[in-house]
Amino acid sequence: MRPLIVIRWALVVAALSAALAYVAPVARGAAPGAADTAAATRTGPSAKNTCFDCHSQLDDSRLSGPTKDFPQDIHATHGLGCVGCHGGNPNDPEMTAMDPDKGFKGAPARKDIAELCASCHANAAYMKRFNPQPYIFSMAEFRTSVHCKKIAEGDLKVATCTNCHGVHGILPPRDPRSPVNHRNVPFTCAKCHNAEYMKGRTVPTNQLALWRESVHGVALLVKGDMSAPACNNCHGNHGAVPPKTRDISVVCGNCHGREGELFAKSKVAETLEFEGKRGCVTCHSNHGIRPPTDAMVGLEGEGVCGRCHTAGSPGARAAAELVPRFHTFKSHLARADSLLGVADRLGVETAPGHEALKQANDALVGLRATIHSFSLPPIEAALAEGEGLASRAESHAREGLRDWRNRRAGMALSLVVILALMALLIARIRQVERPAA
Amino acid sequence: MIGRLREWLADRLGLDALQHLAEKKDVPVHRHTFWYYWGGMTLFLFGIQVATGILLLLYYRASADEAYESVRFIMTQVSFGWLIRSIHSWSANLMIGAAMIHMFSAFLTKAYRPPRELTWISGMVLLGLSLAFGFSGYLLPWNQLAFFATKVGTDVTGAVPVVGGFMLRFLRGGEHISGGTLTRFFGFHVAILPAIATLIVGVHVYLVQRHGMSVPPSVEDAGGPKRRMKFVPNFMLRDMVGWLAALGVLALLSALFPWELGLKADPFASAPAGIRPEWYFGWMFQTLRMMPSHILGIEGELVAIAGIGLGGAVWLLAPFLDDPRGRGQRARMMTALGVVALVYIVAFTLLVYRGAKP
Amino acid sequence: MQRRDFLSWLTRIAGTALGGFILYPVARYLVPPRIPEAATRRVLAGKKNDLAPNSGKTFPFGAQPGILIRTADGEYRAFTAVCTHLGCTVQYRDDMRMIWCACHSGHYDLEGRNISGPPPRPLEPYTVHVEGDDIIVEKAGTT
């Protein structure tokens, strides 16, 4: 008898606790803070979300649209339902769920979106609950951006969080379908930064077209090199702003370390900054950067020096001196390469030669970087090193060809002996077969 | 002193009997005596293959990881490695060429007439072995050309009905060409084929000694050879002149046209353009290439294989199909067949190189 | 008679010469070359006194460059010197105590791991053996 009584009481207590747990969050009060609301709705996958249940059934696409992608939304997968941003009562299947007195906020005004997202994403303690090393959004950073400034001025045709990240189907940036995934970023920016949308404004609108054909665009989109920069790598993510003139070489130098380092210390950088010109962009352009060619060093044709330097200026004289030596070096390399090719085909040992040639080509890469010092001594030193290596490669190749000529000589000699022996044997045959004298 | 040594050895090895045989041996002299040298030439070149092959064995490594590098090592680091390797590769081609000249001259002079049927058959076996030597050796440098040529060659084997699938797997050591194929081919090339070849060469040379040199029917009809020359020293001296010429050709070829290293085999790269087997398989390759896809409802490839197989069988059984006296209607037809075969093989071999693309 | 002997003598000379032309290459061939085998698996990267602690140098390994590093503690490490981004030759930076690629500022730590910049993969490590004065570098996984 007694065990049954215990069991009965246990069941009652259990039921009551469950009911309490179920009811308690809702009884916490009206107008909860966003963090609290979020916590309120984070009660597991089986938690009720009547907003979703009702809205997904509606015919009006404006009302049912948000529900289509929401199940994949990163907020949904982490247990945050509609009420996390919009407030309201997720357990109430009636229209009373959308009672402002119960905390329903509806769709936020455009100018308030950033603050709403920031209410969670800028809260380090809160974000840590989902990821021990979270990205903490900085409202202060966002305020430095052109987008935020324009919104504050009342210009609403400008991007805020939802324009880039999406609204109801937000995917993390690492997801290839996300509009802020590395490969998609330029196209997301170009949704506004195009001629049609920007009509009436003074900002340039050709950035995407230029970037797509550029060495960075091709690297990222065609070759799949994920280290190539998209818009945000140079302009920033949330604090999006074109880099200041003096900062451009820092931006480029982030990846192009040696060139940036050398350039920053050069006279050219100093002069360009003094004249308010844009550093690296002056010669390389910003969005439509093409792979640099050696023809860029020079006054005419593809030469970029002529953009500032007049003929006869010290800079022009330096270029005039450098260009032929540069070409001599490259033709030296080409000669070594072709000689090694000939030696290879003839079957002689060429490994040391190829090794020296590789080092010489490395020196060529180094020379091209050293040009950015715009100072003759280091450039001349790099040239000398490269020439030395090219000479080594060539001498290895010539040694191999000498080997081959020696082989030919040896063969010729052996042929002489063979022919002599053949003649002697024929003579011997004749001798043996001559009738006895 | 040398004389005493010779005597000592002769007593124990019975060299006197051999010397007697050698002195007795003679060779008929007539218009077609020139063709008698080609058997010896083939044997000489085979000897070169054995010698250079053994030398190569000292440095070559038969694994997919190391084969190419070891050949490169031989070509570039080993003293005169380039010479040994180039001689081995060129001499292989020269040997097969000499073997084919020897075969055609034997056929067209009806040397296979009784009692020399077994000599002919053993000779055909030797030709087959030479082709096997060439095919297996070709893969060993493990370069792109070799890899894909072997793939094409074994693919064709796979097309033979009934036994093709098994033969393909037996040759490749699996479904695909791999390091296992290389090991297997190496085993064929340096152990199995040499062992069989030594045996058959022994049989072939013994039979030639036993039956002496065959005289063509035309010479017999004209009253037989006018005279005979002694094997030692007359024929041998002439042999040696020929061998010296071959040596000279090999030296010339090795120094002026060293055998290429090529690119290391990459099974996942696409086959290089214009891939084709070595020239001695060329006529078969070209025949297959020129077949239409279907003839009377049967796959063209199968028709070609059957045709070549049938031709080969007729060729092999020539001693039994031809008139035993080597004269008459049947004999004339056989000669015509030989000429047709020769022209066909030469023409189709050349066609491979004329860029006659399908 | 004179001529016969002369011919014999000449033939013997020529024959010997030919013999020399054949035996000399074969004899040289049989003598092992300086480096006993192809440099695909293991190479002599340098001598013990070549590198001071906290320095590195490139060396040829087969057809590609390798990099040999001596850490500040005196330990030797070796890796392929081909950057995993676009194939430039990497170098050792003693100021950063890291491996650095000059082309796009890729950084690798002393385990070869790509820690910063564009390189997508670590550098393939090699095993280093010190035998007497020689520093031998071997492809990892070779017995």
What's the CA gap between A137 and A165, in Å, rounded?
13
Indicate the residue of C14, C39, C58 with minimum beta-carbon distance to A421. Answer: C14
Q: Give the percent of chain A with pLDDT over 70.
A: 91
> Are the CB atoms for A208 and A198 separated by under 8 Å?
no
What's the CA gap between A92 and A192, in Å, rounded?
39
- In angstroms and rounded to an integer, the radius of gyration of the C-alpha atoms of chain C is 26
Q: Note the ipTM here.
A: 0.86
- In angstroms and rounded to an integer, the radius of gyration of the C-alpha atoms of chain B is 23
In B140-276, which ranges are continuous DSSP H helix?
144-158, 164-172, 179-187, 193-211, 217-221, 236-256
DSSP letter at B36 equals: G
Taking phi over 0 as left and psi of -120 to 50 as alpha, with beta for the rest, A31 belongs to left
pLDDT, tens digit, 9 for 90 and up, residues A201-235:
888 889 999 999 999 999 999 998 988 999 999 88
Is pLDDT above 80 for A413? yes
- Confidence (pLDDT) at A436: 56
Nearest residue to B280 via CA among B168, B130, B85: B130
Interface of C with B in 104-123 (CB under 8 A): none
Q: Nearest C-alpha of chain C: how many angstroms from A375? A: 19
> Are the CB atoms for B61 and C25 separated by under 8 Å?
no
Q: Nearest C-alpha of chain A: how many angstroms from B306? A: 41
- Confidence (pLDDT) at B181: 94
pLDDT band for position B50 (50/70/90)? Answer: very high
What's the CA gap between B260 and B114, in Å, rounded?
45
Q: Do C63 and A420 touch (CB under 8 A)?
A: no
The tokens for A163 are 């324009």
The tokens for B287 are 């025949």
The tokens for A309 are 């330097």
Mean pLDDT, rounded, for B110-130: 95
> Are the CB atoms for A119 and A84 separated by under 8 Å?
no
Q: Which range has highest mean pLDDT (B68-77, B237-246, B264-273, C128-137)?
A: B237-246
What's the CA gap between B99 and B139, in Å, rounded?
21
- Chain A neighbours (≥3 Cβ pairs under 8 A) are B, C
Is pLDDT above 50 for B191? yes
* Residue A240 vs residue B168, higher pLDDT: B168
> Are the CB atoms for C139 and C41 separated by under 8 Å?
yes
Is pLDDT above 60 for B220? yes
The number of beta carbons lying within 10 Å of the beta carbon of residue B46 is 22
The tokens for A63 are 């009302």
| Residue C21 in contact with partner chain A when CB distance is under 8 A | yes
| Residue C13 in contact with partner chain A when CB distance is under 8 A | no
- Confidence (pLDDT) at B111: 93
Q: Do C104 and A424 touch (CB under 8 A)?
A: no
* Residue A351 vs residue B48, higher pLDDT: B48
Q: Which residues of B touch chain A, with CB atoms under 8 Å apart?
A: 75-77, 82-83, 86, 229, 233-234, 237-238, 240-241, 244-245, 247-248, 251-252, 254-256, 258-261
What's the CA gap between C130 and C143, in Å, rounded?
16
Identify the H or E element spanning C116: strand C114-116
What's the CA gap between A28 and A82, in Å, rounded?
18
> Are the CB atoms for C99 and C110 separated by under 8 Å?
yes
| Residue A347 in contact with partner chain B when CB distance is under 8 A | yes
Q: Which one-letter amino acid corresponds to residue A57?
A: Q
A chain contacts of residue C17, beta-carbon cutoff 8 Å: 417
| Residue A74 in contact with partner chain C when CB distance is under 8 A | no
Q: Do C35 and B66 touch (CB under 8 A)?
A: no
Which residue of A418, A426, A431 to mutate against B (max B Cβ within 10 Å)? A418
* Lookup result for tokens 């292989």: B92
- In angstroms and rounded to an integer, the radius of gyration of the C-alpha atoms of chain A is 37
Whole-prediction pTM? 0.74
The tokens for A214 are 């550029």
Q: Do C18 and A255 touch (CB under 8 A)?
A: no
* Residue A34 vs residue C110, higher pLDDT: C110
Contacts of B99 (CB under 8 A, 6+ apart): B42, B126, B127, B130
**DSSP-based three-state secondary structure for C99:** strand
What's the CA gap between A379 and A376, in Å, rounded?
5
Q: Nearest C-alpha of chain C: how many angstroms from B331? A: 46
Q: Do A225 and C63 touch (CB under 8 A)?
A: no
pLDDT, tens digit, 9 for 90 and up, residues A24-43:
544 444 444 444 444 444 44
Is pLDDT above 70 for A361? yes
Which residue of C26, C29, C31 to mutate against B (max B Cβ within 10 Å)? C29
Task: Give per-residue burial for A193-210: e unless 16+ CB within 10 Å, then b.
Answer: beeeeeeeeeeebebbee
The C-alpha torsion from B339 through B343 and B346 to B350, rounded to 10°, is: 180
B chain contacts of residue C38, beta-carbon cutoff 8 Å: 66, 69-70, 72-73, 77
What's the CA gap between A413 and A421, in Å, rounded?
12
A chain contacts of residue B75, beta-carbon cutoff 8 Å: 347, 349
A chain contacts of residue C15, beta-carbon cutoff 8 Å: 421
DSSP string, A42-72: -S-TTS--HHHHHHTT-S-HHHHHHHHHGGG
pLDDT band for position B358 (50/70/90)? Answer: very low
Indicate the residue of B65, B66, B83 with minimum beta-carbon distance to C25. Answer: B83
What's the CA gap between B303 and B301, in Å, rounded?
5
> Are the CB atoms for B136 and B189 separated by under 8 Å?
yes
β-pairing verdict for C76-80 and C125-131: antiparallel
> Are the CB atoms for A89 and A96 separated by under 8 Å?
yes
pLDDT mean across residues, chain A: 85
- Confidence (pLDDT) at A277: 84
Q: Give the percent of chain C with pLDDT over 70.
A: 96
Q: Do B255 and A407 touch (CB under 8 A)?
A: yes
Nearest residue to B142 via CA among B94, B183, B171, B82: B183
- Could you tell me which chain C residue has the CA closest to the CA of A356? C60
pLDDT, tens digit, 9 for 90 and up, residues B319-348:
999 988 888 888 999 999 999 999 999 999
- Could you tell me which chain C residue has the CA closest to the CA of A368? C103
- Confidence (pLDDT) at A28: 45
Q: Do A369 and C17 touch (CB under 8 A)?
A: no
